[in-house]
Chain A
Amino acid sequence: MTVIPTDLKAGGKAEREPGKARALLGYLVHDKLALISAIYLLILILAAIFGPMLVGDMATKLGLRQRNLAPFSLEHGWLYALGADTLGRSILARLVVGAQNTLGIAAAAVVTSMLIGGALGLIAGYSNRWYSQVIMRLADIIMSFPSLLLALIVLYTLGPSILNLIIVLAITRIPIYLRTTRAEVLELRERMFVSAAKAMGAGSLRIVLRHIAPLVAPTLITIAAIDFASVILAESALSFLGLGIQPPQFTWGAMVATGRGYLANAWWVAFWPGLAILLTTLSLNLLSSWARTVADPQQRWRLQTLRRAPR
């Protein structure tokens, strides 16, 4: 369940106004935590894109005689600086390769659920026909359908694969976007410009796509940014319970799952991937909290005045 304060709507709009980029950067530099988060996420994204080309082989290279190699030693090369996992593979290399899966799955799931949820929300909000009701009841059902059961059903009927995991995660997140979109649309469709467009003879599809959808989009994008962190956690929990990603594929969550049995004698196997998840979701949350401050006129002064104030 992600929380969406109502003042978020302004966020997207502020960013879209021209000439604001520099001001935004200024705000960012001012908030040290947000700045560090942004830098961390940037490095992470670069590592996820280019890392596997550099250390991909090392992530699967076995070392059965150096299982659970302790961290903080450069004896076996810098790749083993964070230690080796239960099969003696470089944890650092696996973190980098795992980042690609972890972030990729979360991003794909968020985008998919945003598009589907948004589209269904537009329909449910704009139309008063029977299918609006069906869509809303469907959202209710998804909300109370256990995601673990869904994961098992998909795993069993469609087989273990990254694509199927994305499907599971996307389905579970759809209601959030659906409900938000519908709520927005319910309000927007009563506005003047919609009536005006109707009066000028515009079709429903045109009104929804040209006039309403663009106004809903910024809200959805803001929610997606926050939801990204939740999806990473959800994916990790699924993989931890054995219903998520399956070997030989892996994500950070799966790495924690492998290492959990070794916490007492090789803590690093589960610690590093757990820390990577924590830092990533924390950075995302810090950044979106910063974005909320920037977007909120009542709070923005904090960043502005402090920046302009003479020391």
Chain B
Amino acid sequence: MFGYLGKRALHSVVSVLGLLVLVFFLTRLTGDPSYLFLPLDATPQAREAFSTLHGFDQPLHIQFFNYLGDLLHLDFGESLRQNRSAMEVALEAFPQTLKLAVLAIFLAGALALVVGSLAAAKPGSLFDRFASLVSLAGASAPDFWIAIVGILVFAVSLDLLPTSGTGSAAHWIMPIGVLMLRPFGLLVQVVRGTMIGALSSPYVKTARAKGVRRQKIIFSHALRNSLLPVITVAGDLATSLVNGAVVVESVFGWPGIGKLMIDAIIQRDFAVVQSTVLVTACAIFILNIAIDLLYAVLDPRIRYQTS
């Protein structure tokens, strides 16, 4: 078990390092930051002074070694835009995204378990077909479109919810609602599929023959068995949410890491790009390992080996 964990951790470290190298060099292909941080009519001398001040005038490999050296001292560089530590900026934004993603995944998962089980209980029924259509529509909807239509309907026309931003509980409803759609749609499909499989399996048939109540069969026997695939899929979805709540964050003005990353990318705030990538990548690798562990806990048949 620990051998397995160690190997996974080693792989993750290698991948994160590779990622950092790639991000460092590729972002520097995207142009001179002095074009974005100085006014358009700045003099060439001012641009030169800016480059010298931030070390952009040095050869790329020197810049990279400086960066690595700073990394060893846990110095992740300074945000050009915000005049403060880039890692501080990234770590401030990350919890905002994490809260949103965790809440969305758990709500979507819980709701999908209920809806999926009910649909699987009577396959082909009206409820099943309705649930399938709704969940597939959820999985198919372009989230940016749903988000702006949602603001228009719920905040502007009906005046039920705040348009955007953070603060009260009501501020969470729309971002989470939009973020939940796709995970919910996909998870209903997974739950329904595995439940139908489980319900027609021999042990459920046996239980039914023994006279165990239908609801009890669904919720205590079949459901437990469909948890594993649900966790796999939910884990994958959580990964993509942590990495990609960009659209929801930019539409709803949510100060999360996705919004921070796209702003930094567009503004060529290299240190912030590097720090946000590092933070999300670490989160994703930790999440992946956590899912593997959860698997092992839930399913005693799985034993990880070092080979």
Contacts and interface: CB of A to CB of B under 8 A. Distances in A.
Contacts of B124: 302, 306
Nearest to B262: A148
B56 interface: no
Contact of A274 (B145, B244, B246, B265): B145
Contacts of A144: 15-16, 19, 243, 277, 280-281, 284-285
B137 interface: yes
B117 to A, nearest CB: 16
Contact of A281 (B23, B140, B236, B246): B140
B9 interface: no
A27 B10 CA distance: 49
A149 B31 CA distance: 13
Interface of A: 1, 3, 5, 7, 33, 136-138, 140-141, 143-149, 152-153, 156-157, 229, 233, 236-237, 240-241, 253, 256, 260, 263-264, 267, 270-271, 274, 277-278, 281-282, 284-286, 289, 292, 298-299, 302, 306
B261 A149 contact: yes
B157 to A, nearest CB: 9
5 contacts: A33-B129, A144-B15, A144-B243, A146-B244, A146-B276
A278 B193 contact: no
Nearest to B273: A149
Contacts of A240: 142, 144, 247
Nearest to B201: A298
Given A144-B19, A299-B196, A278 B137 contact: yes
B177 interface: no
B120 to A, nearest CB: 11
Contact of A264 (B15, B156, B277): B156
Contacts of B96: none
A277 B142 contact: yes
A143 B239 CA distance: 9
A5 B190 CA distance: 8
B229 A5 contact: yes
A2 B19 CA distance: 23
Given A144-B281, A240-B144, A281-B140, 6 more contacts: A137-B18, A140-B12, A144-B243, A263-B152, A289-B132, A302-B124
